[in-house]
Structure 1
């Protein structure tokens, strides 16, 4: 862990000067302040927000950084994670990255300043260099979740999104589909979604199928966006026999448009989503989707944390199974 003394040595000043600069007190020259801040940034130093009487206590806090607490996928994971950690008297503190690298950097620094026992962070974001430095040098054990294709930290727990794309392509090809589309949003932010898309399109193209990608960087990944982009697909006059959507929400939105336009699903168009969040809201139409078990993922993460705290090294990478859940839309 980077210390105050490390910053002082690099900036060629006393630890007292570093302390005053970081607390914004004392009559310190602008040149010295700049030198101290540059040294702190270079080393990845994060001030202790719990300095004083609390700093001597062993932390019982697990910091969790996810894209959004409104995302049903992460709600299931966190609920499962908390159920085991609570039995060990560990508490969790949740923050959102909003899939934004700059927001993630700020949140990582804030979370590390709390001196947690562990940091659980969702992967699939193009993290800034400073975020990488903070994670590498700060000394807080770090588990990455959701991105099983690019292991990071002490351990990684998550599905392979490359495999998810391959499963989607395999299902469409088994159905004999030759003209397909992928519809998504914000794929430039979401590396995991990009991997699924590229894997799906790659396998479909390699099999000789005609493919069309329709994504919009400024639209949210919600049902309304699925409606809008499916409308756009139909307005372009493109005839497809299968559509793979970024997630279940967008697929549900797309289904509304297709059914309203008179298409029969699955007779005319096959529709598939991802993440399985539509299963609990199904009445008549049961969406075919690809998913991983969020409850098991959360339990695996909790067990890895408890193993580490107990002095045992957790498995470096645990790939969570990705499954095809057949509905009546394919």
Structure 2
């Protein structure tokens, strides 16, 4: 900053004002300072500035993976929602491991984030303690619970699975499978596990056996894992009429393995996924799925953070809906929907 001030012929205080509140500086002086900044390629030290202002301008977002397009959509929408208020995202990822989440949170807190967004509601005791002690708003997303750390924005994964079971049984299927991740190991997808648990509960509610729930795959769920899961179903339950996969990526892997085995979809086997991924919309046949609005989760999370920080969103609507979104409610259930496409059809008894 001293170098900039010397080159521009102004005080360091003037340089500081240009960078933090340019409206306080005359246009000619401001342009001279900005020209010096550009010439010297000066980058302001925001961390040093935050020590006095107590503002870092960062919101931390912790994702299980950077490869999932739904999480990417949520991150993009969250960034858009925060950008107008001057906040940037600091993103870390956990590889679906609680111990890695613990390390990421510990590192992120040294950057002084003004809010923290976490994917899921399962955390280690140490992580939970750090979050309680952080003194900043914490938003858990992509899941739901009645008593979040601070706020939760998402939907019930258990209810997703339950609704999927009712949908497939409602089509007339009686030998119904589900495939998903193992419920043990260092890397765990707790949300997918909850979808399987809800699916089993939904089968029992309809009087359908729940003995064909295959917890076989490793996370993150993939096409390969789905194909391997289908191999297990073909071996263990060759009379299966329908399969629910815990992720669309998993389901597309199931579909491709069916094509390799000349199993007709949906004539011989109905397939249903979760997530409404683009690959599922473009597959042949297109995939029946459970849809969650990933962008809506990101936008609502931004609203919750800005409300918790007392930041007025620009051009704020005065509608009842917007007022409700910006209220201090702790639980935000955005729900889900069934999208019926070509990979499912009525079972034999309804034909």
Q: Would the TM-score normalized by the shorter structure come out above 0.5?
A: yes
Where do residues 165-314 of structure 1 align in structure 2 (5 Å cutoff)?
Answer: 165-188=161-184, 189-211=188-210, 212-216=212-216, 218=218, 220-278=220-278, 282=282, 284-310=284-310, 314=328
Offset at 1:245? Answer: 0.3
Match of 2:315 in 1: none
Offset at 1:70? Answer: 1.0
Structure 2, unaligned runs of 5 or more = 1-45, 312-325, 345-351
Note closer, same or farther for the CA distance 1:150–1:257 as it changes in structure 2 (3 Å cut): farther
Offset at 1:250? Answer: 0.7
Note closer, same or farther for the CA distance 1:291–1:87 as it changes in structure 2 (3 Å cut): same
Offset at 1:313? Answer: 5.8
Note closer, same or farther for the CA distance 1:237–1:137 as it changes in structure 2 (3 Å cut): closer
Larger Rg over CA atoms:
2
Offset at 1:314? Answer: 2.8
Q: 3-state DSSP class of the match of 1:216? A: strand
Match of 1:163 in 2: 159
Match of 2:150 in 1: 154
Contact 1:160 1:320 in 2 (8 A): no
TM (norm. structure 1) is: 0.80
Offset at 1:260? Answer: 2.2
Offset at 1:51? Answer: 7.5
Contact 1:73 1:277 in 2 (8 A): yes
CA RMSD between the two structures: 1.9
Q: Deviations over 1:157-185 (max 9, x none)?
A: 00111210121011111111111111112
Q: Which of residues 67, 74, 77 is equivalent to 2:74? A: 77
Offset at 1:231? Answer: 1.0
Note closer, same or farther for the CA distance 1:282–1:239 as it changes in structure 2 (3 Å cut): same
Offset at 1:190? Answer: 2.0
Distance 2:192 2:128 in 1: 21
Structure 1, unaligned runs of 5 or more = 1-49
Q: Which of residues 87, 91, 97 is equivalent to 2:84? A: 87
Match of 1:322 in 2: 336
Where do residues 19-98 of structure 1 align in structure 2 (5 Å cutoff)?
Answer: 54-57=50-53, 58-98=55-95
TM (norm. structure 2) is: 0.75
Q: Deviations over 1:248-289 (max 9, x none)?
A: 011001011112222221121110000111357505421000
Note closer, same or farther for the CA distance 1:217–1:243 as it changes in structure 2 (3 Å cut): closer
Distance 1:318 1:151 in 2: 12
Distance 1:51 1:91 in 2: 13
Distance 2:285 2:98 in 1: 37
Offset at 1:53? Answer: 5.1
Contact 1:112 1:140 in 2 (8 A): no
Q: Deviations over 1:97-123 (max 9, x none)?
A: 111011000111111111111111111
Stretch of structure 1 that moved more, 218-227 or 99-108: 218-227
